[in-house]
Amino acid sequence: MQTRTLSMLVKASLFTAIPMLMLPAAATERTISELVDAVNGTPDNLSRDAGKKVKLRNHANGFCTSGVFKPNPQITDTFAIEFFTQANIDIVARFSLGGTNPQSSDKTAGRFMSLKLNGDTESLQFVTSNAEVFFASNLEDFFTFQTKVKQGNDGKQWLIDNKPDAKAFFDYIKKLPPTISYADNRYFGVNSFMFNSKNGAPVAGRWIFEPANGVITASADELAQKPDNFLHKELIERISTTPATWDLFVQLAEKQDNVNDPTIVWPTSRPRLLIGQVIINGQHDDAKATLECDKGIFNPLQLPKGIAPSADPILNARSAAYIESFIRRN
């Protein structure tokens, strides 16, 4: 994309959303500890202690690998973010399923990709999924969702009947077909961030990872022939010969877009800027950072200079919640 075109896109997205960032978050009396309990299904001291003993965590079924990020050289003509001036940035990646069961079946539709881009002096981290829409816009609804889904079908039906955002999420997931590789999915950062532009005005955007070979879905017959756990082996064997590759974009908000609500999917007509390319090739799988990846956390608020979080309450609770979860399992 030419520099002039990029500049035009940024000008189109420079917006009056800065006042929106000052809107108060939905009131909640929930503590970070309560939010983690809701995710883990540990509402009392007995279950919480049991969870600590087994090192209970979300996204328990997952594995780590590595690669490299190659920034788009032209992006620094638009964004004033020094992090992207590096030619190659090492990646530690973790691919996973949702939930606390380390033996959950790979035949479900949900896929998650978390990344650490470890630059010379700064780090950029991502927590993404193949779902473009989130189920709650505030922490109280987040707590309610996590609590109700632990109640099974009755709890899910209550959410469908009483929480429109949860119903929209379930409707989306119902139409989301499974894949036979982590490499075959688009991944979305549902939360918004503020990016410094060259002219000094902040630009709001969301991360989107587009697989280089496009989205490839699996038929029911293909899936039936697979064992319950196949995704780890498939990706490791794949990248031993051919890297798994994604183009990383920032989708830019326009002035009418609510940048603080992850339940709202922005129109596909919104402009996108190519930030660079993620290449997962396993080149550092024997490095300490990769081998110990499961022991740490991926923090989407770990940002280089020039990128800042929006006022989205879901986003701003993530760091503290991940740290609380980390402390409990260590």
Q: Which residues are annotated as a binding site for heme?
A: 322
The two structure tokens encoding residue 254: 């326009």
SS3 for 129? strand
> First and final CA of the chain: distance in angstroms?
46
The answer to whether the beta carbons of residues 217 and 109 sit under 8 Å apart is no
Check if 59 is active-site.
yes
Query: How far apart (Å, rounded) are the C-alpha atoms in residues 190 and 206?
Result: 7
What is the helix (H) or strand (E) element at residue 273, kind and residue range? strand 272-280
Q: Which amino acid is at 272?
A: R
SS3 for 316? helix
The answer to whether the beta carbons of residues 95 and 119 sit under 8 Å apart is no
Query: How far apart (Å, rounded) are the C-alpha atoms in residues 259 and 129?
Result: 18
Query: How far apart (Å, rounded) are the C-alpha atoms in residues 329 and 295?
Result: 9
Query: How far apart (Å, rounded) are the C-alpha atoms in residues 95 and 104?
Result: 14
What is the helix (H) or strand (E) element at residue 115, kind and residue range? strand 112-118
Query: How far apart (Å, rounded) are the C-alpha atoms in residues 155 and 325?
Result: 24
| 48 DSSP 8-state letter | H
Residue reference for tokens 């965590």? 57
Residue reference for tokens 């955002």? 165
Q: Which amino acid is at 290?
A: T
DSSP 215-248: --PPPHHHHHTS-S--HHHHHHHHHTTS-EEEEE
**List 59, 94, 116, 206, catalytic entry:** 59
Q: How many CB atoms lie within 10 A of CB 256?
A: 10
Active-site positions read 59
